C-alpha cells in the first residue's frame, strides 16, 4: 500500500517537474529576448534624459513645473545630481556654464539628488516661479544632470565623468508674429564673391533678432538663373535668442547658367517671413575666355603688324620715306 502511495507521489512529482521544465523551456527564450533587446551598458555610465529642449511659456506669479525623466541604462545603480546653471546668450556660442540668468533665481529643484536602480527611470521636478513683476522677456537656463559615481578618496587613476545639459527657453509675454517679423532682420545676404570661377556658389547671411524673446528662423534660399528654372532649398532651422544673431553658409551647385538672382525668405513663424535678395555671376569657363581673348589679341597684332609698326614709328617721330 505504502509502496503504491510512494509510486503515485513519485509520478506526481515527475509530472510537476516536467511541467516546470516545459514552462522554463518556454519562458527562457522570452526572458533572454527581453534582457538582450534592451541596451545595457556595463562598467560605464549611460543615462537617458527627456525632454532636453524645453520651450516654456511662463506666467508671472505662477509656478511652471517641468518634469525631467531620467533613465539609468547601465547595469549598476547610479546617483544623479541636478544642478541649475545659467546660459551663454552670445548667439553663435552654445556653451552653457554658470552665466548669470534671472531664470536661475526663479528655479528650484526640490529633490536635486536621486538614486536610480539599474535599468530604472525616475523624474526630477523643476519648479520655475517667476515673480509677479517679472518683465516681458526671454529667459534662459541650463539644468545639468551629472551621474555620481562612488570613488576612492585618493583615486589611483584619472576619473571620467559626464554631464547632460537640459536647455530651458522661457518666455514671459505674448509672442506676436507680425511684430516679431518687424524686429528681425537679415544681415549681409551676399555671395562670398560676385563672380564665381567654378560651378558652385557660396552665399552667407545672418539673422538678427531685436524682439523681446527668441524665435526659430527657417530660411529658404531660391536661386533663379537668368534662363531656366528656379530652385528653392530649405536650410537648417536655428533658434535666435533676443539681442543676438545667427549665421548660415549656403553652398550650391549652379549648372550651366551665368547670371543668377538669389532670394532669401526667412520664416519667423506663423507664415511671417523676412526677405532679402542678391545676385552673382558664375563663369566656370573664365580661364577659357581669358585664353581666347589673349589669342585673339595676338592674332590681331600679327595681322596688323605693319600698321602697328607704323603707329609706333609715328609715335616716336620717325617717318618712313
Partner 1 sequence: MLKISYNFIVKAKINLLIGLFAYLLISSIFAQSVSAGPASTNFELQEYSFGAGGTDTSMNSTNFKMFGTVGEVESGRPFSANYKAGSGLIYTLKLNVPPAPTLSNPATNYDRLKFVVNQGGNESDATYAIAISTDNFVSDMKYIKADKTVGATLTTSDFKTYADWGAADGVFVTTLRSGTTYYVRAKARLANFTETEWGPISIGVATSNSSLTFSLDSTSIVFSDLNAGNSFTDANKSTVMTTSTNAYNGYTVYGRENQALKTLDNFTIPNYTGTNSVPTSWAGTGFGYTTNDSSLGGTGGLNRFADATKYAGFITAGPGEIVADHSGPVQDPTISNEQFVVSYRVTVDATTPAGTYSNIILYTIVPVY
- Burial state string for 5-43 with b = 16 or more CB within 10 A and e = fewer than 16: eeeeeeeeeeeeeeeeeeeeeeeeeeeeeeeeeeeeeee
* Whether the Cβ atoms of residue 274 and residue 265 lie closer than 8 Å to each other: yes
Please report the DSSP string for 139-150 in residue order.
EEEEEEEEEE--
* Whether the Cβ atoms of residue 225 and residue 279 lie closer than 8 Å to each other: no
Using the structure block, give the residue that is written with the C-alpha cell 547658367: 257
Q: Which is nearer to partner 1, 49 or 109 (CB)?
A: 49
- Stretch touching partner 1 by CB under 8 A, among 19-27, 89-97, 100-108, 302-310: 89-97
Q: Which is nearer to partner 1, 144 or 279 (CB)?
A: 144
Where in 99-138 is the site for partner 1 (CB under 8 A)?
A: none
Q: Which is nearer to partner 1, 264 or 282 (CB)?
A: 264
- Residue in 21, 120, 216, 288 binding partner 1, rule: CB under 8 A: 216
- 148 lies in the binding site for partner 1 (CB under 8 A): no
End-to-end CA distance of the chain: 157
Question: For 270, how many CA atoms within 13 A lie in the half-sphere containing its CB?
Answer: 8
- 242 lies in the binding site for partner 1 (CB under 8 A): no
- Stretch touching partner 1 by CB under 8 A, among 1-9, 96-104, 183-191, 301-309: 96-104
Q: Which is nearer to partner 1, 51 or 77 (CB)?
A: 51
Residue 115, beta-bridge partner list: 79
- 204 lies in the binding site for partner 1 (CB under 8 A): no
Cα–Cα distance between 184 and 217 in angstroms, integer?
9
Using the structure block, give the residue that is written with the C-alpha cell 585673339: 296
- Residue in 101, 104, 107, 142 binding partner 1, rule: CB under 8 A: 142
State phi, psi for 125 to the nearest 5 degrees.
Answer: -90, 135
Please report the DSSP string for 26-39 in residue order.
HHHHHHHHHHHHS-
- Give the nearest distance from C-beta 205 to partner 1 in angstroms: 17
- 52 lies in the binding site for partner 1 (CB under 8 A): yes
- Give the nearest distance from C-beta 88 to partner 1 in angstroms: 9
State phi, psi for 39 to the nearest 5 degrees.
Answer: -70, 120
- 163 lies in the binding site for partner 1 (CB under 8 A): yes
Within 10 angstroms of residue 65's Cβ, the number of other Cβ atoms is: 9
- Residue in 81, 98, 190, 310 binding partner 1, rule: CB under 8 A: 98
**DSSP code, position 118:** T
- Stretch touching partner 1 by CB under 8 A, among 16-24, 25-33, 90-98, 276-284: 90-98
- Residue in 56, 119, 167, 258 binding partner 1, rule: CB under 8 A: 167
- Give the nearest distance from C-beta 151 to partner 1 in angstroms: 8
Q: Helix or strand or coil: residue 192?
A: coil
* Whether the Cβ atoms of residue 134 and residue 173 lie closer than 8 Å to each other: no
- 265 lies in the binding site for partner 1 (CB under 8 A): yes
- Stretch touching partner 1 by CB under 8 A, among 58-66, 183-191, 269-277, 304-312: 269-277
Q: Which residues bind partner 1 (CB under 8 A)?
A: 39, 41, 43-54, 69, 73-74, 94-98, 142, 144, 149, 154-165, 167, 169, 177, 216, 218, 220, 236-239, 265, 267, 269-271, 273
Amino acid at each position: 500500500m505504502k509502496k503504491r502511495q510512494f509510486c503515485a507521489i513519485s509520478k506526481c512529482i515527475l509530472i510537476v517537474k516536467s511541467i516546470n521544465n516545459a514552462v522554463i523551456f518556454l519562458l527562457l527564450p522570452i526572458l533572454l529576448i527581453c534582457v538582450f533587446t534592451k541596451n545595457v551598458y556595463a562598467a560605464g555610465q549611460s543615462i537617458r534624459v527627456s525632454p532636453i529642449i524645453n520651450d516654456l511659456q511662463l506666467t508671472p506669479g505662477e509656478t511652471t513645473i517641468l518634469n525631467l525623466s531620467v533613465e539609468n541604462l547601465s547595469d549598476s545603480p547610479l546617483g544623479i545630481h541636478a544642478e541649475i546653471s545659467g546660459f551663454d546668450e552670445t548667439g553663435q556660442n552654445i556653451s552653457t556654464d554658470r552665466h548669470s540668468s534671472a531664470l536661475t533665481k526663479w528655479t528650484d529643484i526640490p529633490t536635486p539628488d536621486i538614486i536610480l536602480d539599474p535599468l530604472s527611470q525616475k523624474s526630477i521636478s523643476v519648479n520655475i516661479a517667476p515673480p509677479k513683476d517679472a518683465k516681458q522677456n526671454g529667459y534662459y537656463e541650463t539644468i545639468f544632470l551629472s551621474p555620481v559615481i562612488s570613488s576612492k578618496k585618493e583615486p589611483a587613476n584619472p576619473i571620467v565623468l559626464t554631464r547632460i545639459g537640459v536647455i530651458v527657453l522661457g518666455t514671459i509675454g505674448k509672442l506676436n508674429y507680425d511684430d516679431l517679423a518687424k524686429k528681425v532682420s537679415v544681415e549681409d545676404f551676399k555671395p562670398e564673391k560676385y563672380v564665381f570661377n567654378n560651378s558652385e556658389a557660396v552665399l552667407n547671411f545672418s539673422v538678427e533678432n531685436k524682439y523681446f524673446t527668441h524665435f526659430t528662423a527657417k530660411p529658404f534660399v531660391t536661386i533663379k538663373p537668368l534662363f531656366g528654372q528656379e530652385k528653392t532649398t530649405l536650410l537648417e532651422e536655428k533658434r535666435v535668442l533676443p539681442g543676438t544673431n545667427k549665421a548660415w553658409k549656403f553652398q550650391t551647385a549652379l549648372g550651366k547658367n551665368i547670371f543668377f538672382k538669389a532670394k532669401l525668405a526667412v520664416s519667423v513663424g506663423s507664415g511671417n517671413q523676412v526677405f532679402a535678395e542678391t545676385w552673382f555671376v558664375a563663369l566656370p569657363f573664365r580661364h577659357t575666355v581669358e585664353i581666347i581673348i589673349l589669342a585673339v589679341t595676338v592674332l590681331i597684332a600679327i595681322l596688323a603688324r605693319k600698321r602697328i609698326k607704323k603707329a609706333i614709328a609715328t609715335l616716336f617721330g620717325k617717318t618712313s620715306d
